[in-house]
């Protein structure tokens, strides 16, 4: 397949070129990390970097099956460093090398290099690495296609409406590899199942040998079925325990701790994201009840089947991921007994967002705006829905169509 540029990520890599930090691109498998590094490699050559000054390898290739330890890795690369000028080191799936961080630090100390890394799980950013390179790395989180990218990635019939294109996105999600199947749902489902199985096997089970595979699958199905719902490891553990899927063996906290550990494993493999709760009035994170969102809605539909009745939570999941793409830190808001779907923050910006399928029902309209009206500060407040109304605001609260929000220029 042709390499399709994703400027959001390529631009960030280019901005950090020759800066004295290790660039680490993370994200779920097959979301496009390798392609971005290929495009960055091409960019270097176009800028006049000699090809011998670029070392670009994928550590999961069988060509490097014997490079399993940092000493062998260091030896292999150091022999290939260019004699003249800076060498650009580009490493795909570096987590296969044990204690790779020691080699990376040595490259920085011993040679004139600029380093770029990808990895498919958060173990890449382990405490050991963070300590070794404290303040000297930047993480670029790569995600599946946004809806805006989806529109440029695919070809559509000229008479297809924007709403119909969005419906396609809700069905298949944004994994870039799916483009080749031309919306063939059977082939798409098989491909998503293959990606999912690989992620579970290589980024969860291989790194957590004692994992109960049956329980893990039950948890994945539960989280997929409850995206956007407030849950705690304790409540999920009790549900699974009551269904006979988990045994507490007489210890009150075993179910909760097991679920918490498994959710952390899934988060480390970038399959799910967890949004904590934030007390808006008290201005502090709360320790109880979180929401979990899946990394791509296509996986949820593959696991559970596409169900239009869940549309509200699907829309919420898509907005959550979009806020992460735009660089916000995202929490679930709480003000008194009222919930706000998202509190999205940057160092110089804050948004409060409610997401609902429609505001046409008067009770829904009142409920969704009540949460935002209860907030006393002057930061921007938005209700996103699928409606297209002539009313654009209510008491300073912006009413916006979700599709318009997803494709707006930022």
DSSP string, 2-70: PPPP-HHHHHHHHHTTTSSSEEEEE-STTSSHHHHHHHHHHHHHHTT--GGGEEEEETTSGGGTT--BH
* Phi, psi values for residue 160, rounded to 5°: -75, 130
Looking at the domain 7-141, which fold is it? Rossmann fold (3.40.50)
b/e per residue, 30-50, with b = 16+ CB within 10 A? Answer: bbbbbbbbebbbeebeeeebe
Q: Residue 193: what pLDDT?
A: 97
Cβ count within 10 A of residue 331: 21
Query: What is the pLDDT, as a whole number, of residue 250?
Result: 46
pTM for this structure? 0.93
Give the Cα separation of 303 and 310 in Å (integer): 14
How many Å separate Cα 180 from the centre of its chain?
22
Which pair of structure tokens corresponds to residue 265? Answer: 């494993």
- pLDDT, tens digit only, all 410 positions of the chain: 566 779 989 999 999 999 999 999 999 999 999 999 999 999 999 999 999 999 999 999 999 999 999 999 999 999 999 999 999 999 998 888 988 989 999 999 999 999 999 988 887 777 566 677 777 889 999 999 999 999 999 999 999 999 999 999 999 999 999 999 999 999 999 999 999 999 999 999 988 888 999 999 999 999 999 999 999 999 998 888 887 766 655 444 568 888 999 999 999 999 999 999 998 888 888 888 899 999 999 999 999 998 777 899 999 999 999 999 999 999 999 998 899 999 999 999 999 999 999 999 999 999 999 999 999 899 999 999 999 987 899 999 999 999 999 999 86
Beta carbons of 141 and 382 less than 8 angstroms apart: no
The token pair that represents 24 in the structure block = 């680490």
* pLDDT for 2: 61
Question: What local confidence, expressed as pLDDT, does residue 349 receive?
Answer: 95
The continuous run of DSSP H or E covering 288 comes out as strand 284-294
Give yes or no for a contact between 30 and 175, defined as CB atoms under 8 angstroms apart.
Answer: yes
Residue 252: its pLDDT value, please?
47
What is the pLDDT, as a whole number, of residue 249?
A: 56
Alpha-carbon distance 110 to 342, whole Å? 46
pLDDT at 408: 92
Q: 335 near 278, Cβ under 8 Å?
A: no
User: Domain ranges in the chain?
Assistant: 7-141, 147-407
């Amino acid at each position: 397949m042709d390499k399709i540029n994703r400027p959001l990520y390529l631009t960030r890599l280019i901005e950090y070129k020759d800066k004295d930090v290790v660039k680490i691109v993370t994200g779920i498998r097959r979301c496009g990390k390798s392609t971005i590094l290929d495009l960055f490699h091409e960019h270097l050559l176009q800028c006049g970097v000699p090809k011998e000054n670029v070392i670009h390898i994928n550590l999961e290739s069988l060509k490097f099956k014997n490079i399993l330890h940092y000493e062998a890795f260091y030896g292999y690369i150091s022999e290939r460093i260019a004699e003249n000028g800076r060498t650009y080191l580009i490493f795909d799936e570096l987590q296969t090398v044990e204690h790779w961080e020691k080699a990376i630090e040595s490259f920085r100390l011993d040679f004139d290099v600029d380093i770029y890394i990808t990895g498919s799980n958060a173990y890449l950013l382990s405490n050991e690495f963070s300590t070794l390179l404290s303040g000297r790395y930047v993480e670029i989180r790569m995600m599946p296609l946004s809806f805006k990218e989806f529109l440029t990635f695919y070809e559509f019939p000229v008479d297809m409406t924007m709403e119909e294109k969005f419906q396609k996105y809700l069905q298949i999600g944004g994994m870039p590899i799916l483009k080749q199947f031309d919306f063939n749902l059977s082939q798409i489902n098989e491909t998503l199942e293959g990606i999912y199985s690989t992620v579970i096997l290589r980024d969860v089970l291989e790194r957590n040998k004692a994992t109960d595979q049956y329980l893990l699958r039950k948890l994945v199905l539960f989280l997929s079925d409850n995206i956007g719902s407030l849950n705690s490891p304790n409540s999920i553990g009790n549900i699974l325990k009551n269904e006979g899927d988990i045994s507490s063996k007489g210890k009150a906290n075993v179910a909760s701790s097991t679920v918490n550990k498994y959710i952390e494993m899934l988060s480390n493999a970038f399959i799910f994201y967890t949004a904590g709760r934030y007390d808006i009035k008290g201005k502090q994170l709360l320790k109880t009840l979180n929401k979990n969102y899946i990394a791509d809605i296509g996986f949820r539909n593959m696991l559970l089947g596409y169900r239009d009745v869940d549309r509200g939570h699907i829309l919420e999941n898509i907005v959550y991921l979009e806020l992460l793409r735009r660089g916000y830190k995202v929490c679930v808001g709480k003000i008194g007994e009222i919930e706000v779907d998202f509190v999205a923050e940057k160092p110089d910006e804050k948004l409060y967002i409610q997401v609902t399928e429609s505001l046409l029902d008067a009770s829904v309209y009142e409920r969704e705006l009540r949460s935002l009206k209860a907030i006393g500060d002057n930061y921007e407040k938005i209700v996103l829905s699928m409606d297209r109304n002539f009313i654009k605001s209510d008491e300073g609260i912006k009413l916006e169509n979700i599709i318009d929000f997803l494709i707006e220029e930022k």
